[in-house]
């Protein structure tokens, strides 16, 4: 995987030394090499930091050009159908000088223009400069696996894999978008296309931009997941998914360097390891556990690793690992309050000691309806709780499969309008949105059946904005590429075209994957209760840690957060809201103070 950057100046010349500094802030994404392209008029630049997997020779250094140097590309990604596309393009007389998948994208653009983007299977973000048409093309993959940010004003456009390289330009003001700050508290992340910074944006998944040299640009969506209500037999779809997933793992382990796999002992990663073992023996697997926790997933991972004879590596975290949050906020660029950002970083750091790429199970819960909020209740309710609710008239968290239910499931310390007013100082109240579920509402379709209406929201909101951002930054901070075999569009569409009764069971999780896996792993893996990659609640309930990290709050000194509200959260032991505050405090200190 790699880091990419590019600049278009409308009239001024590019400062080469500054451009190199901006490019090299991405060296963690690409420690194996670097390159740059500057146009003849010195108003266009493309840069690249390389983490090499295919064609390890210098021929694979980017930016890459076509035969007459009229088209240049800088790309971050892996194209898994590049061999097939390469043969098709060779038949059309295209000549290749490298063995890379990157050059395939370049020639595909030559042949098909922007129509080629929809032909690409894989994860990618790229910039293509077409010197004949004087146009820059920016594109991002269908699910948003790889990031792409851009800064825009009337004189300049800068794009990059990460915001930090854009901010390396001293002329770009670090100014908070306070609407985005409010949305961070609501969603746990800043939804696309905005970022936490004014004038810096995210390109949304499955979109591309065309920009001319006068900085006129258009943004288009090139792909939309389709759904249907076909009634396949469950036996038929199990066979189809089994075959497709096996092929997907096979193409995801194509590499000129060894590939490993994350392994949690859950259905998703265990199934990937099972397929992986059919192609290769003795590969590395990695897991993270938590000290003094009976549900620590490293114990289950070791069971699966033993079954498939992998070389397993695990690490157990204790409460001191919370202190890594300072470091993470540098790599994340924006505040992101998912509670698994720490173990995700740690398992990536562990894997990077032996591998440059690993497989991971992102996408399986979204596609196969595996989350707890796909059930009758928004979170797990025991039989005893159901009994007591009838006896005492307690209100259970019923799931109505509407936007309000989804918002409750996602909140982890909810912030509505009144809560934001309590938290933020009065001068910021004008930025509080009128609708605290507006981003979810954009992707909600009440005409879809249960749980499909939530699955589509998960893919675009939870996965596209939070899960994939988390895994990209945590892995790339450690110069590690994470590959996600579940996230092939044909896998998602093969499930979403079905009646939910074929693939969804209210009592058993992910019945398609369960059916494939149950013949191959012990019952303790099959019968294991679903849990996220989070650790025990006690890990995030260290109130002395919150007090220490928020008592001299920079957010409070800057007139953003009310001091008395922080104290109220501490008094009430409101750990989820404190967690969001602590993440924002660390981000603010890193990016706005230091």
> Confidence class of residue 473 from pLDDT cuts 50, 70 and 90?
very high
Determine the pLDDT at residue 56: 56
pLDDT (0 to 100) of residue 381 = 80
The highest-level CATH class for domain 234-372+456-537 is alpha beta
Task: Indicate the pLDDT class of residue 531, thresholds 50, 70 and 90.
Answer: low
For the record, the structure tokens of 203 come out as: 């390109």
CA atoms of 537 and 494, how far apart (whole Å): 36
Fold of the domain built from segment(s) 3-221: 3.60.20
pLDDT at 239 over 60: yes
* Strand pairing category for 217-221 and 135-140: unpaired
Each residue of 288-345: pLDDT tens digit? 988 777 777 888 999 999 999 999 999 988 777 788 999 999 999 999 999 899 999 9
Domain boundaries, the chain: 3-221, 234-372+456-537, 541-594
Which alpha helices (DSSP H) does 310-431 contain, by range?
325-332, 341-351, 364-367, 383-392, 403-411, 417-423
Residue 461 CA to residue 303 CA, distance in Å, equals 33
More confident residue, 100 or 512: 512
Q: How far is CA 72 from each of CA 51, 62, 69, 132, 389, rounded to the nearest angstrom? A: 19, 9, 7, 11, 64
- What are the Cα distances from residue 478, in Å, to 178, 409, 458, 488? 31, 31, 27, 25
In angstroms, the CA 324 to CA 344 distance is: 12
Q: For residue range 134-190, list pLDDT tens digits in order.
A: 999 999 999 999 999 999 999 999 999 999 999 999 999 999 999 999 999 999 999
Query: For the segment 6-52, what is each residue's pLDDT rounded down to a tens digit?
Result: 999 999 999 999 999 999 999 999 998 999 999 999 999 999 998 87
3-state secondary structure of 88: helix
Answer whether the bond into residue 451 is a cis peptide, omega within 30°: yes
Which residues are tagged catalytic?
2
């Amino acid at each position: 995987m790699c880091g990419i950057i590019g600049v278009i100046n409308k009239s001024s010349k590019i400062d080469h030394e500054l451009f190199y500094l901006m490019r090299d802030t991405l060296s963690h994404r690409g420690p194996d090499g670097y390159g740059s392209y500057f146009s003849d008029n010195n108003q266009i630049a493309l840069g690249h930091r390389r983490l090499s997997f295919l064609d390890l020779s210098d021929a694979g250094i980017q930016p890459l050009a076509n035969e007459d140097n009229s088209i240049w590309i800088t790309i971050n990604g892996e194209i898994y159908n590049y061999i097939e596309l390469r043969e098709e393009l060779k038949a059309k007389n295209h000549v290749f000088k490298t063995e890379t998948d990157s050059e395939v994208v370049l020639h595909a653009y030559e042949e098909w223009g922007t129509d080629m983007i929809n032909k690409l299977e894989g994860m990618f973000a790229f910039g293509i400069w077409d010197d004949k048409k004087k146009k820059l093309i920016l594109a991002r993959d269908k699910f948003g696996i790889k990031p792409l940010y851009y800064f825009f004003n009337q004189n300049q456009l800068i794009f990059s894999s990460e915001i930090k390289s854009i901010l390396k330009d001293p002329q770009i003001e670090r100014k908070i978008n306070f609407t985005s700050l409010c949305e961070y508290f609501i969603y746990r992340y800043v939804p696309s296309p905005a970022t936490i910074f004014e004038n810096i944006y995210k390109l949304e998944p499955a979109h591309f931009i065309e920009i001319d040299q006068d900085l006129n640009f258009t943004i288009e969506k090139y792909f939309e997941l389709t759904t249907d209500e076909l009634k396949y037999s469950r036996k038929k779809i199990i066979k189809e998914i089994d075959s497709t997933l096996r092929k997907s793992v096979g193409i995801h382990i194509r590499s000129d360097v060894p590939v490993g796999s994350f392994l949690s002992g859950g259905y998703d990663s265990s199934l990937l390891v099972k397929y992986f073992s059919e192609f290769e023996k003795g590969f590395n697997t990695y897991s993270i556990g938590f000290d003094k926790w009976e549900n620590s997933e490293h114990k289950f991972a070791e069971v699966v690793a033993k079954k498939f004879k992998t070389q397993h590596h695990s690490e157990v975290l204790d409460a001191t690992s919370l202190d890594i949050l300072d470091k993470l906020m540098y790599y994340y660029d924006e505040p992101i309050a998912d509670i698994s950002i720490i173990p995700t970083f740690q398992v990536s750091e562990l894997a990077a000691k032996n591998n440059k790429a690993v497989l991971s199970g992102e996408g399986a819960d979204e596609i196969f309806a595996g989350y707890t909020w796909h059930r009758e209740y928004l979170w797990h309710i025991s039989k005893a709780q159901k009994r007591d609710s009838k006896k005492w008239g307690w209100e259970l968290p019923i799931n109505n499969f509407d936007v309000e239910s989804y918002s409750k499931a996602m909140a982890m310390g909810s912030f509505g309008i009144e809560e934001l007013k309590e938290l933020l100082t009065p001068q910021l109240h004008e930025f509080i949105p009128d609708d605290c579920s507006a981003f979810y509402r954009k992707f909600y379709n009440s005409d879809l059946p249960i749980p499909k209406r939530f699955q589509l929201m998960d893919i675009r909101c939870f996965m596209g904005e939070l899960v994939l951002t988390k895994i990209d930054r945590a892995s790339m901070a450690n110069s590690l590429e994470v590959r996600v075999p579940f996230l092939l569009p044909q896998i998602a569409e093969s499930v979403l075209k079905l009646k939910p009764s074929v693939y969804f069971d209210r009592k058993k999780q992910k019945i398609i994957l369960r059916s494939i896996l149950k013949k191959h792993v012990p019952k303790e893996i099959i019968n294991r209760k679903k849990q996220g990659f989070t650790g025990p609640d006690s890990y995030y309930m260290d109130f002395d840690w919150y007090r220490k990290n928020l008592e001299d709050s920079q957010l409070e000194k800057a007139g953003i957060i009310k001091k008395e509200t922080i104290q109220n959260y501490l008094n009430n032991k409101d750990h989820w809201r404190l967690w969001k505050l602590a993440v924002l405090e660390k981000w603010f200190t890193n990016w706005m103070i230091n």
